[in-house]
Structure 1
C-alpha cells in the first residue's frame, strides 16, 4: 500500500438531551456522541484506509477494497466534510457500543483522533479529525478500525473513557467490554493521567492501543500495563499537541493472543528497544497468528520497519500508538508485503524521534 504523495461524548444533561433530540429529529438529522446513539442493528467489525485525503467535499468515495473490510459484507465509504474532517460510513453496523481507533498515515507529522461515532439508521458514522503538529486541521490519510463484540473468553477488553476530570468511575457500560464478563473502571491520578482497570484478564503480556477522543487538539498514548492480582492495569497519558498534559477522553483496547478486532490473520508487537538496529521483541508482547516471529528494524531516527512473516500485508489495517510517559507520538507510514509495516515516531513539535510504540495488524 503506497501512494505517490509525501503524506498518507460529552454527556448531556437529560433535559437538554431531550430538547436536542427533538430538534434533530425534526430536522431529519441525528448525530450525537456515542453514549446518546440510537438503537443497534447487530455486532461486528470494520476497518478502512482513508486513501483520498483531499476528496471533493461532501462527496462519498469508496476506499481501496484491499484495505477496507466490513464484517457484514457491506462496502464502507468515506466523506470529507471539511479540511481535516472526515466521516467514515460503515453500513449495517449501526450499533450502540463498540470501540474505535484511528491512526494518521504517511510521512507527515500529522495525527488523527476520533471526534465521535453514532448510528445513522443501520449505518455507523465515525467522525475523524486530523491535524498538523501545530494543531491546525489538515487533510491527511488515516486508518480507522471498529469492533463491537459480546464474545466471552480469552483476554480482551476495551473502554471509552468518557469522564476525563472524574477521580474514579465506571465508564459507559454501553461502550466498554471485558471478555471475563465484568466491568472495567478508570482512575484519574492527575491532569491527563489515568489508570484503566480491566478485572479478571490480567497478564504480564498482550497488547494495547489508545486513541484520543473528541473534537479537540489532543493525543493520548499508553504508558505501561501490568497485572495486579487478576486485573489488568493500563496507564495512559493525554497531552495537548504542544506536549502539555491535559484531561481528555480516549478509547483503549487491550488484547492478548488475538487481533485487535478479535479476528485473524493478525499480529502485534511492543517495540521496546527504540535505538537497537534490529531485534525480536519480547515474546510476551508480540503475536503472530501464522506462528512466525515478528522482528523490528530501526531504519533511521524515529523510523522503524516491523516484519510480520505470514501476514497478508497487501491487505488489512494497521494501528499504532506510542508507548511511554512523554509526549512523543507515532503513526503508520505505510505497509506492503515487501517493506513490512513502516512506523514513524515524532516529538510533540513534529520532529523525528526514537521511542517505544505498539503496533497492530489485522486482515
Structure 2
C-alpha cells in the first residue's frame, strides 16, 4: 500500500492501482440525503455527469457526511464547488478531494445554521483542466493565515498560463489575483473548504491592469469573520466547468421584482439573455432561456461583505432555477448572489 496525502485528505492506494484517470469534469445532485450508511447509491442520471463516461456514486458516511465518487478522474488537482440544495437554511462545504486509484473521492460536510451536522441534499461539481485560452481560472486557497502566498500549484489553474496568488488583509478577508485574465466582467464561485463550520463568499471582482482581482470573505456559521481555506473559480464567457450548454448570472438587484442582470456579468451559451424574478424575501427565480434545466448542475455563491449566504432550492424547465438566501441565523433575506448552470 502507498500512503497519499493531498488536499487535506489521506488515502491508502493499493500498489497495483490502475493508472491515474484523465483530466475532465463531473457533477452530481446528491438527492438522497438520508441514504443508508456506507452504502453507495447512484444519483439521478439527468443530474449526474462524468466526462469519462464513468458512473458517479455517493455514499453517506455519517450524519451530514458524504463522499462523492467520480470514476476515472483520479488525478491530483482540479477544483470542487458544493452548494446545499432544498428549502432549509442548511449549508455545505467541500471537506477535501483526492484520488483513490483511478477514482476521485470528494468529501462533503453539511450543517445547520447552529453548526450541527445535518443530512442534506446538495450539488457538487469538479473540473481539472489544462486547456489554455479564454478567461478562466481556479485555485484552492490552502494557507488561510498567510499574509501573501502562492496557492498550491497542483490545485490551481490560469488560462493565461500565469500563476495565481492570494493576499490576506485581515481575519477571513482575502484577495485572489489571477494574472493575464482581467476584465470588468465574468463570474465567480467560492466554497468553504474543510471539515469546519464556515462559509465563504465573493465580495467583488474587478480588473487591475491585466490581472483579475476577486475579494473573498469567510465567516463562522454564526456570522463572525474567520480564517478558512476555500476553493475558487473565475470564468468569463464560459461555464464554470468549461462545458456547454452553460449559463451564469450576477444577481445584482436583490429587491427588484423582475430584471435582466448586468450584461457584462451574465452569460448564456445559446446567446439568450438571462432574467431574474423575486418571489418573496430572499427567494428568487433565475430564467436561463434555452438551457436544458431538466438536466445539469447548479452552483450558488452569495455576494457582498456581510455574512448572508445562498443555496439552490431546485431547478426545472418550467420554473427556472430557484435560489434561497439567508442571514447567518437562518432567516430569509434579500441579497446579491452569483448563480451558475452547467450541463
Task: Give the alignment's TM-score, normalised by structure 2.
Answer: 0.96
- 1:144 corresponds to which residue? 124
Query: 1:283 aligned to 263, 270, 277, which one?
Result: 263
Say if 1:166 and 1:35 are closer, same or farther in 2 by CA, change over 3 A: farther
- 1:210 corresponds to which residue? 190
2:138 is equivalent to residue 158 of structure 1: yes
2:66 is equivalent to residue 57 of structure 1: no
Query: 2:323 aligned to 343, 347, 351, which one?
Result: 343
SS of the equivalent of 2:140 reads strand
Cα offset, 1:227, TM superposition:
0.1
Cα offset, 1:41, TM superposition:
2.5
Say if 1:36 and 1:129 are closer, same or farther in 2 by CA, change over 3 A: closer
Whole-Å Cα distance in 1 between the matches of residues 193 and 140 of structure 2?
Answer: 9
2:292 is equivalent to residue 312 of structure 1: yes
Whole-Å Cα distance in 2 between the matches of residues 267 and 233 of structure 1?
Answer: 22
CA contact (8 A) 2:193 2:230 kept: yes
Q: String of CA shifts for 1:10-36, please: whole Å, max 9, x gaps.
A: xxxxxxxxxxxxxxx48xx86753587
- 1:269 corresponds to which residue? 249
Whole-Å Cα distance in 2 between the matches of residues 112 and 54 of structure 1?
Answer: 15
2:153 is equivalent to residue 179 of structure 1: no
- After the TM superposition, which residues 31-180 of structure 1 pair with which residues of structure 2 at under 5 Å, given as runs? 32-33=6-7, 40-180=20-160
Q: Would you tell me which structure has more strand in proportion to its own residues?
A: 2
CA contact (8 A) 1:35 1:174 kept: no
Say if 1:129 and 1:179 are closer, same or farther in 2 by CA, change over 3 A: same
CA contact (8 A) 2:199 2:221 kept: yes
- 1:355 corresponds to which residue? 335
SS of the equivalent of 2:144 reads coil
Whole-Å Cα distance in 2 between the matches of residues 59 and 159 of structure 1?
Answer: 31
Query: 2:226 aligned to 246, 253, 256, which one?
Result: 246
- 2:16 corresponds to which residue? none
How well do the aligned residues superpose, as a CA RMSD in angstroms? 1.3
SS of the equivalent of 2:154 reads coil
- Runs of 4+ in structure 1 off by over 2 angstroms are 29-41
SS of the equivalent of 2:46 reads helix
Task: Give the alignment's TM-score, normalised by structure 1.
Answer: 0.91
Q: String of CA shifts for 1:268-301, please: whole Å, max 9, x gaps.
A: 0000000000000000000000111100000000
Aligned residues: 337
Whole-Å Cα distance in 1 between the matches of residues 46 and 117 of structure 2?
Answer: 28
CA contact (8 A) 1:104 1:143 kept: yes
Whole-Å Cα distance in 2 between the matches of residues 80 and 36 of structure 1?
Answer: 18
CA contact (8 A) 1:34 1:96 kept: no
CA contact (8 A) 2:293 2:317 kept: yes
Cα offset, 1:243, TM superposition:
0.1
SS of the equivalent of 1:174 reads helix
